[in-house]
Structures are given as C-alpha cells and as structure tokens.
C-alpha cells in the first residue's frame, strides 16, 4: 500500500516536470531559403533569425535551388513538429504544393520573396506572402535611367534620341524578373524617352553570370551600348566587373548601370561611382514582417495590418515599400 502511494507520488512528479518542461520549451519554427548563396535572400533570412532569437527554436534549411529537396525539408520539419513555417520557394509555381502540405498539417505558412498566384494563396487561410511589389521596384529602376538621361543629354552617345540598352534579367518566370523588366522599360518610356534593346539575357541573379553575359554584350555591341539595366545588384556588379575589364570607369569612360536590392557591395559600388543607382529591396523589413506574421500565426491570433505593423491586402499579401537609392541619399539614414 505504502509502495503504491509512493509510486503515484513519483508518477505525479514526473508528469508535472514534463508539463513544465513542455511549457518552457520554445515553439519550433521552420525556415527554408531557396539558395543560401543568394546575397539578398541571405540577408532576409539573417533578419528572420535575429527577430526570432530567444522566442523560438528556429530551424533554417538551405534548399540549394532544388525544389524536391525543399519538399523533403518541409516534410521533415513538419514531422519534427514545427508550429509555423517561413518558406522561400525554389519555384514559385510549386508554392501550391507547399501550401497544400502545410494545410494538411494545419500549420501556418508564410511564403517569402517568390510570390504564389493569388489563387494558390487563397487555397489556405493560414497561408500568407511577404515580398515587394515587382512593378514598383521595376518602375523605380527605370526612373533611375530616365533621371540620368534627362540630366545628361550627352549620355545619348550617338545622339539619335534613343537609349540603346542591354538588360540582365533574373531567372525566367520569377515575378521580380518578368515584371521588373517590363516596368523599368515602362518608366523610361513614360519619361518621354525612346529605347532600343541591343541585348537581353538571363543572368539568374548571379554576379559571375552577369559578368559573363555582359562580356558577351560588349563583344557584340561595344561602344553602342548606352546603359545597362539589371534586375538585381549582383548581376549589375557582374556587369561592372566586365565593363572595368574592358576599360570602362577609367579615363572618363562611364556607363550608367542600375540594379535593384541595395545590398552592401552595391552601395559600396555606388559610393565609388561605378553603380549609378539601385532600388531598395528592404531585407530588414521583409525579414521582420515575415517573422511577425509567423509569430502571430503560431499564436493563432487573427492577423490584421494593425497588429502586424505592415499593410496587408485582402489576399494575405504584404508588400514592403521600395525607394530609389543614388549618391544623393545613400548615406541618409
Ligand atoms: C529578388 C532579388 C534578387 C534575388 C531574388 C531571389 O527579389 O532582387 O536579388 O534575391 O529575389 O528570388
């Protein structure tokens, strides 16, 4: 009898210890980055980690540009009991499967940077998106070019009243590549300039590919190129590498090159006078908004623009605003 009572007391103590351990252990939140080698996205993920530190057990996975690997990673994290997910899809057209998967486990999902279609996002009440408006970033990028040519008529090297450009595109099918391209050209046209495309090619967001593609454009078009439009900074810096190797940016030879992101190396190039301008792709606020969303969703709180602190549209999308960055405001906090 005595032994039985003792056993009950011990069992009660064990259960109490387990319960308090469970209460004290932080929630598990899973994060996937499409490719950890990507300059801009790594800074977004760094910000998410910073925000989550101390409140959650964050697992961060590099999907290494492989959508199948990412599905496996997400499955593993779900099996491991994550309570919310923040995913940067490898392929935005596969977001629908990620959404269905999270829904099947009743785990909220914040997609970042690679935007699912509105229809896909609407499939699951617990699915949200954080990114930028590609039309806005594209348009601002085009304005950088238009502003330059308006202030520098001599930049029209052959004086034909037409801007001869080459364009480095992000990966095909990515909303930021397709729409930034369209809208940057739209802004130049809206400012009253005519344009002629000499060359356009994808450089997959990468500096080394940008350099290679720009070297190719230079070999074909040389001095006929009057400006370089790039969908992001890494490819713009690659173009600058190729231009420098071919003798630009010394002895008064200048080429206007514009990008998007405002990464640290790009801001440095801007200060040094090679990059003409860039558009802020706000990694800090994108990381912060993604984290805040995941946190509210984990707590099963209804999300509004007010408690999130960021404007959210009726389709569960949060677009962080952008702005042009040039020498005039690069060091303005
Ligand atoms: C874009 C960004 C690129 C690259 C890409 C990845 O928004 O401008 O530099 O990070 O996302 O999806």
Reply yes or no on whether the pLDDT at 5 is more than 70: no
What is the Å distance from ligand 1's center to 105 Cα?
29
Query: Quick check: 231 pLDDT over 60?
Result: yes
Q: Which residues does residue 140 pair with via DSSP β-bridges, in sequence order?
A: none
Q: What is the pLDDT of residue 1?
A: 45
63 CB within 6 A, ligand 1: no
- Ligand 1 pocket check for 205: Cβ under 6 Å: yes
Protein residue closest via CA to atom 11 of ligand 1: 113
- CB atoms near residue 83 (< 10 Å): 18
* Topology alike, domains 23-132+282-320 and 135-279: yes
Cα-Cα-Cα-Cα dihedral sign, residues 215, 221, 226, 227: negative
* Residue 130 pLDDT greater than 60, yes or no: yes
Which residue's CA is the nearest one to ligand 1's atom 1?
Answer: 176
pLDDT tens per residue across span 270-321: 999 999 999 999 999 999 999 999 999 999 999 999 999 999 999 999 999 9
Task: State what percent of residues in the chain have pLDDT above 90.
Answer: 92
* Extents of the domains making up the chain: 23-132+282-320, 135-279
Which region among 5-9, 108-112, 135-139 has the lowest average model confidence (pLDDT)? 5-9
Q: How much distance in Å is there from the Cα of 181 to the middle of ligand 1?
A: 13
Mean local confidence (pLDDT), 202-221? 98
Q: For the domain with range 135-279, which CATH number is right: 3.40.50.920, 3.90.25.10, 1.10.10.10, 3.40.50.2300?
A: 3.40.50.2300
The verdict on the CB of residue 115 being under 6 Å from ligand 1 is no
Is pTM beyond 0.85 here? Answer: yes
**H helices present in 174-318, as ranges:** 175-190, 207-221, 233-245, 264-272, 283-298, 305-308
Q: What is the pLDDT of residue 332?
A: 87
Whether the CB of 217 sits within 6 Å of ligand 1: no
Whole-Å CA distances, 278 to 81, 239, 265: 41, 14, 11
Check residue 21 and give its pLDDT: 47
211 lines ligand 1 (CB under 6 A): no
User: Rounded CA gap, 248 and 273, in Å?
Assistant: 12
Nearest atom, ligand 1, residue 88 CA: 12
Give the position, in ligand 1's atom list, of the atom nearest the Cα of 35: 6
The stretch 13-26 carries a mean pLDDT of 57
Name the residue of 170, 204, 234, 319 to mutate for ligand 1: max ligand atoms within 8 A of Cβ. Answer: 170
> Measured in angstroms, how far is the CA atom of residue 80 from the centroid of ligand 1?
29
Q: Is 40 a pocket residue for ligand 1 (Cβ < 6 Å)?
A: yes
The answer, yes or no, to whether any atom of ligand 1 lies below 6 A from the CB of 232, is: yes
pLDDT, tens digit (0-9, with 9 covering 90-100), for 32-91:
999 999 999 999 999 999 999 999 999 999 999 999 999 999 999 999 999 999 999 999
Model pLDDT, residue 23? 55
- The whole-number pLDDT of residue 76 equals 98
What pLDDT does residue 24 have?
66
Mean pLDDT of the chain: 94
pLDDT digits (tens, 9 = 90+) for 171-200: 999 999 999 999 999 999 999 999 999 999
Q: 23-132+282-320, what's its fold?
A: Rossmann fold (3.40.50)
Tell me the CA distances in angstroms from 117 to 96, 120, 197, 205, one per residue in order: 9, 5, 29, 22
Report the alpha-carbon distance of residue 89 to residue 331 in Å, rounded.
Answer: 33
């Amino acid at each position: 009898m005595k032994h039985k009572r003792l056993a009950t007391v011990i069992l009660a103590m064990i259960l109490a210890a387990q319960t308090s351990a469970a209460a004290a252990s932080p929630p598990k939140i899973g994060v996937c980055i499409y490719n950890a080698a990507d300059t801009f996205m790594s800074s977004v993920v760094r910000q998410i980690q910073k925000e989550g530190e101390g409140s959650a057990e964050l697992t961060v996975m590099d999907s290494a540009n492989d959508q199948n690997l990412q599905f496996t990673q997400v499955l593993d994290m779900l099996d491991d009991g994550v309570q919310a997910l923040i995913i940067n899809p490898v392929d935005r057209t596969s977001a629908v499967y990620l959404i269905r998967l999270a829904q099947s486990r009743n785990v909220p999902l914040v997609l970042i940077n690679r935007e699912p279609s509105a229809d896909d996002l609407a499939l699951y009440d617990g699915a949200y998106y954080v990114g930028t408006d590609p039309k806005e970033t594209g348009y601002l990028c085009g304005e950088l070019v238009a502003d330059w040519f308006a202030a520098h008529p001599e930049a029209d090297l052959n004086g034909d009243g037409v801007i001869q450009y080459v364009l480095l595109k992000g990966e095909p099918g990515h909303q930021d590549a397709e729409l930034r391209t369209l809208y940057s050209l739209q802004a130049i046209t809206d400012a009253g300039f005519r344009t002629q495309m000499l060359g356009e090619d994808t450089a997959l967001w990468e500096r080394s590919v940008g350099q290679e593609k720009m070297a190719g454009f230079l070999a074909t078009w040389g001095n006929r190129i009057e400006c370089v439009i790039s969908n992001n900074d890494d490819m713009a810096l690659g173009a600058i590498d190729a231009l420098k190797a071919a003798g630009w940016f010394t002895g008064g030879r200048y080429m206007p090159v514009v990008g998007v992101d405002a990464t640290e190396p790009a801001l440095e190039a801007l200060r040094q006078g090679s990059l003409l301008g860039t558009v802020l792709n706000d990694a800090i606020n994108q990381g912060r908004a993604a984290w805040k969303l995941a946190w509210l969703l984990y707590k099963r709180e209804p999300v509004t623009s007010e408690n999130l602190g960021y404007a959210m549209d009726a389709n569960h999308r949060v677009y962080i605003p952008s702005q042009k960055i040039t020498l005039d405001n690069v060091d303005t906090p």
